[in-house]
Structure 1
Amino acid sequence: MNTNRRRRSEQVTNQEMDEEVLKKSPPSQEKYGRAQFAIRLMVLVLFLAWVFVWVVAPTDTYKQIWLPQLKAKINSSYFGKQGATLLLFTVPILFIAVLGSIYLHIAKKYNYFKMERSKNGKKCEGVFIGKRPMLVRGPLGIVSGTELALLFMFIVLLVWSFSNYLNNSFAKISQKSAAEDGEKVWQKKLDKSALMLGKVGNICLAMLFFPVTRGSSLLPLVGLKSESCIKYHIWLGNMLMTIFTAHGLCYIIYWAVTNQLSKMLEWKKTGISNVAGELTLLIGLLMWLTTFPRIRRKAFELFFYTHHLYILFIVLFIFHVGISYACIMLPGFYLFLVDRYLRFLQSRQRARLVSARVLPCEAVELNFSKTHGLTYNPTSIVFINIPSISKLQWHPFTVTSNSNLEPEILSVVIKSEGAWSQKLYQMLSVPSAIDHLNVHVEGPYGPVSTDYLRHETLVMISGGSGITPFVSIIRELIYLNITLRYRTPKLTLICAFKNTSCLSMLDMILPSYGINGDISSLQLQIEAYITREEDLKQNNSPIPLQSIWFKPNQKDSPISTILGPNSWVWLGAIISSSFIIFIILIGMINHYYIFPVDHNTNKIFSYPLKSSINMLVICVSIAMGASIAVLWNKKQNAKEAKKVQNMEGSSPSVGSTNFKVCDIERELESLPNQILANATNVHYAGRPDLRRLLLELKGSNAGVLVSGPKEMRQEVASVCSSNLAENLHFESFSFNW
């Protein structure tokens, strides 16, 4: 209980500090606003310039006039042929990523002032244009108007590029030119078509890694979350493999009809390497095959492990086309490598698992120790690895705790649904069988800011374990309502469960140690539907929650941000410094090693060796920049971890399980829990009539959040997209599409 009092006193202190900042720094609001506007303007200009390069790249004007002039100025003994490509395709995106990091760092501070407008009923401004679902059922999943427009424009870019490439290539083919090569006109056109398909496929490859960069500064810059962008990665992957497959088949047919099948075994020292391209295609087809829903669901481990072949795919692709041309797809993959290396460094640390609660519905809540400097917003996710179950598998889970209400604890709830989670549940369901568990954590990753206060009403609809993101939202609104006295929206939670035991998921809404305040002003109403039981009499007496407290281990450490509290600034510094290191190193290698060889008339520097050197330098540069940043922040993280350890040492010993369990039981009988129980209605033997419930919502601004099975999300999206629901603003939370 002393620990709880200390936590609450720290919350009050933090609140007072925040209010002081808000009172003393009104000019900062205008300063931050101007800085953000300037960054957004610069980002827009750079992005439009980058898109313009993609649009004009297939034209003769670009290839015959602009590019030669640019190469004459840029290409030198330091950068060679890749100099112009780096400047046009790589530098703009990396610069945008650095600007985005600065923007997001400012946004964290500016968020104080933005939320201040929400007090006394003043709603934060929000943009709803283009977020209404346009397509609900179909191969693309639930798609908004903005997403549909962007997808259409991207397809237009592909068609534009392919048609221009073909027109310019076919214009140079004639009966005479084909006869000189001993071919027919249609064979020559097939050759050119195959080549142009490869060029168009590279556009998809250039975009492929942006959506799967978890710690990206680009995605939150435009209001996207990493888990919601997975569907973009799937779209791009399907288009990429369709085009690359057509590219490969066209070349095989061309070589067969012209009696040149021996070219399939060519791996040239200069130019295109056919063997590398064929291996790239085979690996891509293997990864593509395992992504089909039936295979992915029934053999997830096969899909998971096969997808790690992306490393070999990229390496062979670079060997196939050469490093100079591969620089077109470099920016997305470069940012992905930065993020992947930072994740690797974080995952090397073992997280301190303090306790676990086993729920009657075959779910477990894991409670990790965290540093005070680690803050995150609702609906954030973490990736968890438990070596005793699988050394390679990482699974994403929504964080249910709140960094303001629970400054020392990070919690996740894991439902026993797949093979991995079932093994975890079996391990923890027998408390005496385990007293320590090695766990590795990556994250948390989540939105930079939230805008739930802009709504008059929030309706949260969940199915099964889909309730977890709403637990984090409710806890955030509890903090804003009780601690900061914000006027929060009226809340309605509609949750569907299979049986009564799943009602124990509602116990997760409030922190395990209770809340120091009155939650009656929160205006929360819970409607729980039990779909597979007639009434409460059918069930046995409820099974109590089992609590497990783990012994501490010196090798474990509290979860902390790998780059400290100013993580966005450090990320921008890593991107910029590592790329500068790469430019310097590769410039020196080109000037003193590669350039002299290329200008010796008797010898040409090997393309595969040049590509290998470039890939090695990229990896070394990223490792240098990221490692220095991580080591710089490691001291601060170590100090915070020591503070947490000392505070844990002052609390009752971990071995005193009975004391802690009794403490939790007393807290569960507190007034907030009684209010929560009174606000809960349980309905049996039926599913919620979502259409009726949503269309009955009053007010001009109602946020509708849904998390659960695909059919439920589609039903809610269908209602929100109708003309009868102009006041409903849809948002979906899901790890799949």
Structure 2
Amino acid sequence: MANKVERRSSELSMAGVVRLLAVAIFLGYILAWVIAPTNRYREKWQPKLRADTNSTYFGTQGTNLLIYTFPILFISILGCVYIHLKKGRREDERHALNLTSLCQTYRNQMTGSCERSLGIVSWTELAFLAMFVALLTWYFSVYLSNSFSRITPQSAAKAGEKVWEAKLESAALRLGLLGNLCLAFLFIPVTRTSSILPLAGLTSEGSIKYHIWLGTPSWSSLPFTAYCTLSTGQQKFMAIRRRFHEQMLEWANTGESYVAGELALLCGLVLWATTLQRVRRKMFELFFYSHQLYVFFLFFFLLHVGIGFFCLILPGVYLFMIDRFLRFLQSRGRVRLVSARLLPGDSIELNFAKSPSLEYNPLSNVFVNVPAVSRLQWHPFTVSSNSNLEPDTLSVIIKKEGSWTQKLHQVLASSPPERLEVALEGPYGPVSNSFSRYNSLVLISGGSGITPFISIIREFIFRSATGEGATPKIHLICAFKNSADLTMLDLLLPFRAASPTSPGEGPTGKGDAVRTLWFKPRPTDQPAAAVLGPHSWLLLAAVIASSFVAFLLLIGIMNRYYIYPKDHNTNKVYSYTAKALLNLLIICATIAATAAAAFLWGKQRHAAEGRQVQIANAPTPAGQELESLPQESLVRSTNVQFGARPDLKNPVGAGGEGRRCPGQRPRGMRRDVAKICSSGLTDNLHYESMSFSW
């Protein structure tokens, strides 16, 4: 036992070292962006770097690959190693004093003053946001100051422009360069299998707001860039009409391609316009489908700037491409749907067969696609089951609210099919259980927001039954619109002999029975499993490393034996567009080959296990043990109030009297709880938001 504890401690300390190394490399990466616009770098350091890296194998592309691409990819590999060392460790963090707990302490000091514009954010998030805004300001101001210093009346007259025209055109160009800084980080928050986010204690679903924050300056700068360019272009048009017309339709063999830039600008403007909150809320499908224009934006942006300049934003796009291809491979299969339970409150619980080797933490989520409802739409849902308590089952709870969920409920309720095809992507979730560090938990939810708390409660049920770690005191506060939704409390226990809120026992004296539908799967249906098998993070690191090494080898061979001879043995320079397309082809080929090989290897690993997975009607041994527990204790601990909510200020709903809150939405509840936790009324009170707004 002592050797086991020592081994865990050594692995955790090694994980800390890996994390510190990743942080150090990231700080160096940020420093590279800080010094990039300075004259010292552009006039002294950059020429030397390009001379040292300019070879027949990589050309001028080598400098940006070394400075901007390699560090982020190396950090992602370190992140995979970090997650592998930390995954599955149930160390007791309750009294641990480490960097993670300190960051969590400061992160939980909430502020509600910016909730309308930024959402509920912490002081730490505001601090990092302020630093990033300072970086953007520095980056733009230094570039602009240096460019303006080179614009004189003589230089403007020589170019056939006025001074203000030259400065406006220069500002447009520098504003476009500012967008590159945001684009470099834009795709990292939406990479679901990101190994970088866990290094900062983040998850993909919790980082959507960072994607929005980064996208806002990226896309909002496009209208001003277009305006400045067209304004100066209009003056040139009045002077030299034919030349301006030719430039607007020119696809240059070298340098920037105007046509590709215009197409990228058009795609970006449509993207930006449909992301406005009013459009996104009222016309979500328009927002969702128009958001797929990011593929065309990146494609034309690559052709516009060339592969050398595109390497500045390549690492985020590269990791997103790996993630997207792995999701494509996982979504091709069909998951075995065992049963569906229709609750009286228009809620559905879907139960899938799961590979026992698939492990996930509470608060994880999966993306679900039901071709019978829509072949294109994927919707995220929080996993309500627990991989420890239910090793053969993965469950999600779906509330009938939108059009997609209404169609699904209609398919199951009206004429239930014998088999329902379902595809899954995920699960995705936190690497560790941050909630396990607390002595007591107050869980406050509204409506279907109880789903993530079900997985937390089941986790502590498992720990209590097996004696693994201490169990905190849990106080669950739920607010439902209708009394029929109280049946969602029946799902707190996966197996039970009685229910605290059985249908027909509510205050109305009425209730519909819970309907359970059983499905007949096909032999080709597979249990839910990790996309790369049990050791998915190590395989992901191998995919990132091997695909990038293969990419470097192939572009080196291509440049040395194909492009370099054409550049130096003929009078024509090799087309930048053709070179960019060849690089893109190599990137796609290396990612597809390495990711597919890792996917097939992982699939073979759990293929034999999948054939042995059988879901029986009888409860599992863990379920039988839970059924022996007295169910009356859960009934006695349930207190139902109607027409009012518990007083969240006395203290945070712990036994307070009810108060009437007519028409208040769950978002208002989150704001109230955040204000209470940041008010300092109670010592050692921390706030964590578990709202998922995709």
TM-score normalised by structure 1 residue count: 0.87
TM-aligned CA distance change 1:55 to 1:485, over 3 Å: closer
Q: 2:106 aligns with which of 89, 114, 129?
A: 129
Q: What is the distance in 2 between the residues matched to 1:666 and 1:217?
A: 38
Corresponding residue of 1:428: 412
Q: 1:342 aligns with which of 323, 326, 341?
A: 326
Quote the offset at 1:265 in angstroms. 2.1
**CA shift digits 1:449-499 (9 cap, x unpaired):** 103232121000000000000000000011111212532111000000011
TM-aligned CA distance change 1:670 to 1:35, over 3 Å: closer
Corresponding residue of 2:679: 722
Corresponding residue of 1:456: 439
**CA shift digits 1:116-142 (9 cap, x unpaired):** x76xxx678633123311245221111
Corresponding residue of 2:474: 491
Quote the offset at 1:732 in angstroms. 0.6
- Structure 2 counterpart of 1:438, which letter? E
**Please, which moves more after superposition, 92-101 or 134-143?**
134-143
Contact 2:338/2:351 (8 A) holds in 1: yes
1:619 aligns with 2:596: no
Q: What is the distance in 1 between the residues matched to 2:20 and 2:438?
A: 28
Quote the offset at 1:540 in angstroms. 4.8
Q: What is the distance in 1 between the residues matched to 2:665 and 2:324?
A: 29
Corresponding residue of 1:10: none
Corresponding residue of 2:375: 391
Corresponding residue of 2:117: 139
Residue segments in structure 2 that go unaligned for 5+ positions in a row: 657-663
- 1:246-645 map, 5 Å: 246-259=224-237, 261-262=244-245, 263-430=247-414, 432-512=415-495, 537=507, 539-644=508-613
TM-aligned CA distance change 1:405 to 1:672, over 3 Å: farther
- Structure 1 counterpart of 2:448, which letter? S
- Structure 2 counterpart of 1:550, which letter? F
- Residue aligned with 1:461, SS: strand
- Residue aligned with 1:43, SS: helix
Quote the offset at 1:668 in angstroms. 11
- Residue aligned with 1:412, SS: strand
- Residue aligned with 1:350, SS: coil
TM-aligned CA distance change 1:240 to 1:573, over 3 Å: same
Corresponding residue of 1:155: 133
Quote the offset at 1:684 in angstroms. 0.7
Corresponding residue of 1:33: 12
**Please, which moves more after superposition, 213-222 or 445-454?**
445-454
Quote the offset at 1:599 in angstroms. 2.0
Contact 1:283/1:313 (8 A) holds in 2: yes
- Residue aligned with 2:649, SS: helix
Quote the offset at 1:96 in angstroms. 0.6
Quote the offset at 1:600 in angstroms. 3.7
- Structure 1 counterpart of 2:635, which letter? A
Corresponding residue of 2:631: 673
Q: 1:188 aligns with which of 147, 166, 176?
A: 166
Q: What is the count of residue pairs matched by the alignment?
A: 671
Contact 2:12/2:86 (8 A) holds in 1: no
Q: What is the distance in 2 between the residues matched to 1:102 and 1:133?
A: 32
Quote the offset at 1:274 in angstroms. 1.6
Corresponding residue of 2:650: 692
Instruction: Among all aligned residue pairs of Structure 1 and Structure 2, give the percentage whose two residues are the same amino acid.
Output: 50
- 1:16-55 map, 5 Å: 22-55=1-34
Corresponding residue of 1:99: 78
Quote the offset at 1:293 in angstroms. 2.3
Contact 1:273/1:321 (8 A) holds in 2: yes
Q: What is the distance in 2 between the residues matched to 1:96 and 1:349?
A: 31
Q: What is the distance in 1 between the residues matched to 2:55 and 2:673?
A: 58
Corresponding residue of 1:167: 145
1:108 aligns with 2:65: no
Q: What is the distance in 2 between the residues matched to 1:92 and 1:667?
A: 50
Q: What is the distance in 2 between the residues matched to 1:514 and 1:441?
A: 31
Contact 2:336/2:526 (8 A) holds in 1: yes
Q: What is the distance in 1 between the residues matched to 2:133 and 2:255?
A: 29
TM-aligned CA distance change 1:171 to 1:598, over 3 Å: same
**Please, which moves more after superposition, 82-91 or 177-186?**
177-186
Contact 2:349/2:396 (8 A) holds in 1: yes
Q: What is the distance in 2 between the residues matched to 1:324 and 1:123?
A: 46
Contact 1:514/1:667 (8 A) holds in 2: no
TM-aligned CA distance change 1:404 to 1:78, over 3 Å: same
Q: What is the distance in 2 between the residues matched to 1:485 and 1:626?
A: 37
- Structure 2 counterpart of 1:85, which letter? N
Q: What is the distance in 2 between the residues matched to 1:58 and 1:345?
A: 41
**CA shift digits 1:616-661 (9 cap, x unpaired):** 11010111111111111111110110111xx34xx46xxxxxxx89
Contact 1:208/1:233 (8 A) holds in 2: yes
**CA shift digits 1:222-276 (9 cap, x unpaired):** 1001111000001111111112221121101110122264232222111111221
Contact 1:514/1:672 (8 A) holds in 2: no
Q: What is the distance in 2 between the residues matched to 1:667 and 1:67?
A: 67
1:234 aligns with 2:212: yes
- Structure 2 counterpart of 1:466, which letter? G
Alpha-carbon RMSD across the aligned residues, in angstroms, is 2.5
Q: What is the distance in 1 between the residues matched to 2:434 and 2:229?
A: 52
Corresponding residue of 1:5: none
- Structure 1 counterpart of 2:249, which letter? L
Q: What is the distance in 1 between the residues matched to 2:333 and 2:524?
A: 8
Contact 1:598/1:605 (8 A) holds in 2: yes
Quote the offset at 1:697 in angstroms. 9.2
Quote the offset at 1:692 in angstroms. 2.8
Q: What is the distance in 1 between the residues matched to 2:559 and 2:608?
A: 44
Quote the offset at 1:695 in angstroms. 8.0
Q: What is the distance in 2 between the residues matched to 1:385 and 1:108?
A: 28
**Please, which moves more after superposition, 317-326 or 290-299?**
290-299
Quote the offset at 1:679 in angstroms. 1.1
- Structure 2 counterpart of 1:88, which letter? I
Quote the offset at 1:514 in angstroms. 6.8
Contact 2:222/2:269 (8 A) holds in 1: no
Quote the offset at 1:689 in angstroms. 2.0
Q: 1:199 aligns with which of 177, 181, 187?
A: 177
Contact 1:123/1:453 (8 A) holds in 2: no
Quote the offset at 1:675 in angstroms. 2.2
- Structure 2 counterpart of 1:638, which letter? A
TM-score normalised by structure 2 residue count: 0.93
**CA shift digits 1:58-83 (9 cap, x unpaired):** 00111111111111111111101110
- Structure 2 counterpart of 1:279, which letter? L
Quote the offset at 1:594 in angstroms. 1.1
